[in-house]
Amino acid sequence: MDNKLFTEGQLGPITLRNRAIRSAAFENMAYGNKPSEDLYNYHTAVARGGAAMTTVAYCSVTRSGVSFDGQLYIHDEIKDDLKHLTDGIHAEGAKASIQLGHCGNMTHFYTCDCMPVGASSGFNLYSPTLHRGLKKHEIQEIVKAFGHAVDFCRECGFDCVEIHAGHGYLISQFLSPYTNRRKDEYGGSLENRMRFMKEVLDEVMAHAGDDMAVVVKTNMYDGFKSGLQVEECIKVAQEIEKHGVHALVLTAGFVSKAPFTVMGGAMPIKALAHYMNPWTFWWLRLALRFVGHLMIPTVPFKELFFLDTAKQFRKALKMPLIYVGGVMSRENAETALAEGFDFIQIGHALVKDTNFVNKMKDEHYHSTCKRSNYCVARMYTIDMKCHECVENLPKSLEKEAKKYEQMWYPDSK
């Protein structure tokens, strides 16, 4: 196998020192919607740990697109702190990227400061919340906000933006027939359902100019019968390719319908409930106790779990592609790169160990992360962290984490 991982790669106008990128896994470290010292320390550690580029997770282009208090949104008050963050990343020799998006109906009025909006009106059981369909003039306002966000991120020192068009957030809500029931030019046929995405990409590319790299994250399938399937998602990807973006991240899953399609494995229900506010979320904690695994079904985990499907997209597209999904070792990374992918993104392994990329210089190194998904359960309420990095972890949560680790890695101790 040719060793490609530690060779330079070109991503549009920027050069990356190797092919490993930290994925936009949600950190929940933007306390009060502002960058924190924890966010700075984490991303600079990832950069110091050898990643060619680290991606700051989910920054909404408007306040209405925020789904957690620990998320960023574009406003002048955070500009200096973001510049401090990118300076720190650059000082470690890595490039800085930030994921831009809008959560659509995946929020609450007390989080986004308005009634949640989406492609169509309805009720989101996942949040849960009522939401209303966007009016045409509001759609155009959000399109313009994406362009403004690119300019803002350039001023903050970012080298790249990643546009989130997957996982059931707003662009994805327009694309999927499950959430888009509009009767106007933004609904109906796939061509119409792609209209909002195309307008966003036109705006983004106009503002990106010749110095900002643009990556798009899009689904290969939604993960349930009434959502987008592979064939339609290939057509979406081909449309994205026409817009001249510099790379595509291939993912899958719909957070409000098939959440663990996104990452594989099981949700540690006890950990999820443990960190929830017992007064605010008493009803949800009760529901999780009795029907949690029905609400959040398990998806069997295996390393490189998206690779077989992603190879279909590799055959259908000429543009650079970024593989994400279960990269846990040097062997995994080189396997994906040998299949024609230009870069890889890494999430879980860099939660467990920010020095993971450097450690992969040993060809036989394998991440010590065993996919308990404790970090996922925790990140919905407090900062993202591996269970082995938490002091005084309750025995019940430690036992739960070990149970899931042994499910996917039966030889682990």
**Helix pair 136-155, 195-208: axis angle to 10 deg:** 30
The yes-or-no answer on residue 169 being catalytic is yes
Indicate the SS3 state at residue 411.
coil
Measuring CA to CA, which residue among 209, 203, 66, 202 is closest to residue 127? 66
Q: Is 12 left (phi over 0), alpha (psi -120 to 50) or beta?
A: left
Listed in order, strand segments (DSSP E) in 140-258 are 160-165, 213-219, 247-251
Annotated catalytic residue: which of 40, 42, 58, 169? 169
Cα-based distances in Å from 126 to 123, 164, 295, 379: 9, 19, 9, 16
For residue 59, the cross-strand partners are 72, 100
Please give the distance of CA 319 from its chain centroid, rounded to a whole number: 20
Pairing of strands 53-60, 129-133: unpaired
Active site residues: 169
